[in-house]
Structure 1
């Protein structure tokens, strides 16, 4: 290199620094790009995004090529700096050159390009995809050899490059992504997406109507009462049973009853004939699975049964959808069924209200790992038959039984911990 002018050597050194900065910056940009945004842009037909996606799907190929190119460039930069140092300062210049090249590579070829790429990954990563994609194919034999040797060593350490290339998200990670989306997703849409993810955590028992609150048509009653039940019903579908819900005969759609009623041809026999076969749901079925079951079975209503086949409650498709979009009502006062706020901060609660709905709608923190309803929670804590006026405290919430029926808590008055401290 003695015949090469110094200005040429300096030019080559600057070129090597720029190439090293390109390798370092593009590596950071490509590896830190949002994979899901990249996949979306690739589906829209953006060529740079498609090339970048091809590269990052096999990070062993990409990293192997970038490290190979960067090491070659940095080795050339070190050699050129050594020659420049020797020609300017003699043998002592070699020591100066070693320190100078290390500082130059650290600042201009590592720190600055990687920092910029981490801040603007798409601006630097996408354009570089064209160059890397072409160079990897140009030098494919060398890249292939380096990858084969490197992957063999990785497998000895128990690492599979194919598995490392996967970027699947768990439900909890996806929940974090949605929660941190900020202004990109409206708040209400965030709540709906999180509610969909929460469906797998809840079961049909959490939202079912308890069997003692199921309203239907009892054909054992006088016919006039049956007709009145049909006329006054606020539901479009009603279970038909004989004496009790355990003798379930089917489910009737009131739209099918209207024609016969108008023609005065409706009687108990024809009513049962119009009823469709009941659909039963095993207890413990997750809500996300039951939503799919409703869709596959073309059903909108089902009866939850325990391991003995006894009916425990009723679940509808609308109940599951309300878990996602909220109650189908615009009146805030009726969004929590059978819960009424008092001026003093207490709440009058029906015993059939679920603990989960109280926690979800009022921000309470009552225990949910045991009984599902207020009645069950109070009964478990009492360990005795309930009596009106009895008070107990559960996790700081003061429950006062206000009404009982058939050895169950019909209603209670609840004072949250904050209101209790304020009243004191």
Structure 2
């Protein structure tokens, strides 16, 4: 070193600082790189993505090369700097101390903190080109890495740590949900809503999406023929359950088009309707929605009737009901109960029927009413009050204030809801 001029020695130290910074920035960017995003870049054919992916398959060797190179350089820099200080200032303790402190400061700032912050902030822009330099370096230093890893492996065996048994990290549903929520700037609101609903669908049963018994449109074969014909003319559905006297005595499912075709032939009678019935399909309460959707797909069914353990009908489910949980309601949905609304008015109020399903109410009015227990607003109010109200009652559930307006046959028939304050709604969504 003494034969080199001072400027050359300082230039060498600056180069070593940059080289150390390269190892630090490469380490930070490689570790911060999103593996799923990297696979996407490989499919797009981005330059350097495949090389980076190949290096990350051998993380332990990659880190060995980076750490060995970084530590050797960070050790060499103080040695060279001390030699320069001794030749320039002699054995002056103050000068040596200042030189040592200055070199340590330069290493920390230019070779450690700054490169790692930059690498973690822009991993893709740095890791992909850096991999092109690290790949040949790994091949060149393979004997050195092998020698060092001999001691590392021995130490791991002494500590009884087997890295081969380390489980591969997989994202859970909650982690995926968090990723979707944090991607608000990249995924449109409607698409994000569908993805979140899809995650929820795994925990739903047919009871959560069914049309409740009180809202089912069905035909009673004991009714007069004129009434049945009028009901068929004004029907909103392609298929109707048919019962006799009691809705628990389901005879079958009628295709409305077949019934109307028979009517045009002037042959429609009670017996004709009975002959047109298809075998009803019953599903026990609590059946998972995914399982039921798979059955609809495999057997080309379009309707199932939900029954409890006593054989009593609770409601019905169609594929459209399940799809509505994902994308929202269709415009062809059957009209709602008279006197109810589906949005807040100018005063921030909304009158709804007690039979309104809670999940549907949350979706329409952007509420956060609990859906783990009762399925309808009437059931939720009765569960909270623990008694049947005998007059006007006001209560608040999850930030939503509501007022009981009408009671009929021991059930809450009509409720007025008041829009929660914006701050409360935001807190519930966190």
The normalised TM-score by structure 1 is 0.83
Counterpart in the other structure of 1:87? 87
The 1:99–1:381 alpha-carbon spacing in structure 2 relative to 1, beyond 3 Å, is closer
Counterpart mapping for 1:269-284 below 5 A: 271-284=273-286
Match of 2:328 among 320, 326, 329: 326
For the residues of structure 2 that align with 1:68 and 1:25, how far apart are their CA atoms?
14
Matched, 1:411 2:414: yes
Contact 2:221 2:244 in 1 (8 A): yes
The 1:355–1:385 alpha-carbon spacing in structure 2 relative to 1, beyond 3 Å, is same
Counterpart in the other structure of 1:358? 361
Contact 1:60 1:161 in 2 (8 A): no
Matched, 1:60 2:60: yes
Counterpart in the other structure of 1:422? none
Q: CA deviation at 1:48?
A: 0.8
Please identify, of 353-362 and 24-33, the stretch whose mean Cα deviation from structure 2 is larger: 353-362
For the residues of structure 2 that align with 1:146 and 1:295, how far apart are their CA atoms?
58
For the residues of structure 2 that align with 1:355 and 1:95, how far apart are their CA atoms?
73
Cα deviation 1:321-375 (Å, max 9, x = unaligned): 22222222399x9799943666654432212102333333324444444322122
Contact 2:404 2:412 in 1 (8 A): no
Q: CA deviation at 1:210?
A: 1.3
Contact 1:336 1:361 in 2 (8 A): no
Matched, 1:140 2:159: no
Q: CA deviation at 1:308?
A: 3.8
Matched, 1:373 2:369: no
Contact 2:21 2:115 in 1 (8 A): yes
SS in 2 for 1:246: strand
The 1:170–1:148 alpha-carbon spacing in structure 2 relative to 1, beyond 3 Å, is farther
Counterpart mapping for 1:36-185 below 5 A: 36-92=36-92, 95-147=97-149, 149-150=151-152, 153=155, 156=159, 160=163, 163=166, 166=169, 168-185=170-187
Counterpart mapping for 1:277-356 below 5 A: 277-329=279-331, 338-339=340-341, 345-356=348-359
Counterpart in the other structure of 2:31? 31
Q: CA deviation at 1:32?
A: 1.5
What count of residue pairs does the alignment treat as equivalent? 415
Q: CA deviation at 1:23?
A: 0.4
Contact 1:58 1:165 in 2 (8 A): no
Matched, 1:402 2:406: yes
Counterpart in the other structure of 2:427? none
Please identify, of 273-282 and 230-239, the stretch whose mean Cα deviation from structure 2 is larger: 273-282
For the residues of structure 2 that align with 1:151 and 1:354, how far apart are their CA atoms?
60
Please identify, of 8-17 and 64-73, the stretch whose mean Cα deviation from structure 2 is larger: 8-17
The 1:138–1:418 alpha-carbon spacing in structure 2 relative to 1, beyond 3 Å, is closer
Q: Which 5+ residue runs of structure 2 have no aligned equivalent?
A: 423-430
The 1:338–1:158 alpha-carbon spacing in structure 2 relative to 1, beyond 3 Å, is farther
Match of 1:200 among 199, 202, 208: 202
Cα deviation 1:80-102 (Å, max 9, x = unaligned): 22322232223346555533432
Q: CA deviation at 1:287?
A: 3.7
SS in 2 for 1:66: helix
For the residues of structure 1 that align with 2:383 and 2:224, how far apart are their CA atoms?
39
Contact 1:386 1:404 in 2 (8 A): no
Contact 2:47 2:128 in 1 (8 A): no
The 1:131–1:271 alpha-carbon spacing in structure 2 relative to 1, beyond 3 Å, is farther
For the residues of structure 2 that align with 1:326 and 1:54, how far apart are their CA atoms?
43
SS in 1 for 2:229: helix
For the residues of structure 1 that align with 2:263 and 2:242, how far apart are their CA atoms?
16
For the residues of structure 2 that align with 1:204 and 1:392, how far apart are their CA atoms?
31
Q: CA deviation at 1:63?
A: 1.7
For the residues of structure 1 that align with 2:286 and 2:323, how far apart are their CA atoms?
18
For the residues of structure 1 that align with 2:339 and 2:116, how far apart are their CA atoms?
56
Q: Which 5+ residue runs of structure 1 have no aligned equivalent?
A: 420-424
For the residues of structure 2 that align with 1:372 and 1:56, how far apart are their CA atoms?
49
For the residues of structure 1 that align with 2:393 and 2:208, how far apart are their CA atoms?
25
Please identify, of 103-112 and 213-222, the stretch whose mean Cα deviation from structure 2 is larger: 213-222
Q: CA deviation at 1:13?
A: 2.2
Contact 2:402 2:415 in 1 (8 A): no
For the residues of structure 2 that align with 1:247 and 1:165, how far apart are their CA atoms?
54
Q: CA deviation at 1:70?
A: 1.2
Say what the alpha-carbon RMSD is for the aligned residues: 3.5
The normalised TM-score by structure 2 is 0.82
SS in 1 for 2:236: coil
The 1:115–1:409 alpha-carbon spacing in structure 2 relative to 1, beyond 3 Å, is closer
